[in-house]
Amino acid sequence: MSVTVRVWVQRIGVTALWIAAILLWRNHQTSNDLSTTEVGQRFLDNVGSEWWGVLAYIGVYLLRPLVLFPASVLTVMGGILFGPWLGVAVVVVAANASAMVAYGVGRLLGGSDTDDQAAVAEASSDDRQSFITAWSRRLREHSFETVFVMRLLFLPYDLVSYACGALRIRWAPFLAATALGSLPGTVSFVLLGASLERVDQGIDGVNPWAIVISVAIFVVSIVISRVLRKRQP
């Protein structure tokens, strides 16, 4: 079996398993008439204050990108389960590990290193390159800075991870930029969760100070990302 055929068999296999996982999860939600927050609340009710709660939470967070469960909901749940301090620590570990899962899947589905080099060369020689091509090239050449800005901008968490894996950027700058760039958002959502008793109770149960602090962190994050974008080459 040639290398090209083997790569395509791998891509088809990974894609089939990924689609199957998403469809099974959606079918479970639909058949049980569960919203996203209701699913989260069921998990909270089952875990409660059990000693294995941290392990269960991290395990669910690792599976989350495979079924496209919102990272924001699970992060808020971390604040409810573990409080503000332990919650931030647990979510940082879980979120970054899940980002690597999505990155790994994207890498399996992406092109080879030879394809990447050809794409970069083609982009460099085309004066009319598209926005996507330009952004892809920036990701490859300035991985840490670009991923860091995207995380500060609160771009779709899993989309960024899958794209970085597919473009085969180096894992070390991706992970470092994700850890640092996602921290403001993590703190914001964990603080919101820590002021709640249930994930499905809505905004009425949120401590006003948690909202103020979260919004302030969000605004600062956006401002920093704008400054950094202007300084990027």
* pLDDT tens per residue across span 39-76: 999 999 998 778 899 999 999 999 999 999 999 999 99
Q: pLDDT tens for residues 205-224?
A: 555 655 666 667 767 777 77
Domain count, the chain: 1
The DSSP call for residue 91 is: H
* Residues 68-107: tens digit of each pLDDT: 999 999 999 999 999 999 999 999 999 999 999 999 999 9
> pLDDT confidence of 145, banded at 50, 70, 90?
confident
Task: Kindly report the average pLDDT of the chain as a whole number.
Answer: 82
% of the chain beyond a pLDDT of 90: 41
**Could you tell me if residue 89 is inside a domain?**
yes
In a domain, 7, yes or no: no
The two structure tokens encoding residue 215:
């919004």
Give the tokens for residue 103: 């990155």
In this structure, is residue 61 part of a structural domain? yes
Domain for residue 13, yes or no?
A: no
Worst-scoring range by mean pLDDT, 31-35, 190-194, 210-214? 210-214
The torsion defined by the Cα of 86, 88, 89 and 93, in degrees rounded to 10, comes to: 140
- Counting Cα atoms < 13 Å in the Cβ hemisphere of 90 gives 26
- Is 66 inside any structural domain? yes
Q: Residue 27 falls within a domain, yes or no? A: no
Q: Angle formed by the axes of helices 131-141 and 143-152, to 10°?
A: 120
Residue 43 lies in a domain: yes
* Residue 65 near residue 158 (C-beta atoms within 8 A): yes
* Rounded Cα distance, 17 and 67, in Å: 11
Residue 196 has pLDDT above 90, yes or no: no
Q: What is the pLDDT at residue 6? A: 77
Residue 128 pLDDT > 50? no
Structural contact between residues 60 and 95, judged by C-beta atoms closer than 8 angstroms: no
Phi, psi (degrees; rounded to nearest 5) at 66? -75, -25
CA-nearest of 82, 42, 38 to 58 is: 82
> Is 17 among the domain residues?
no
CA 177 to each of CA 20, 99, 134: distance values in angstroms, whole numbers, following the listed order = 31, 11, 20
Q: CA distances (Å), 67 to each of 19, 82, 135, in order?
A: 9, 24, 26
pTM above 0.85, yes or no: no
174 to each of 18, 54, 101, 145, how far by Cα in Å?
22, 25, 12, 9
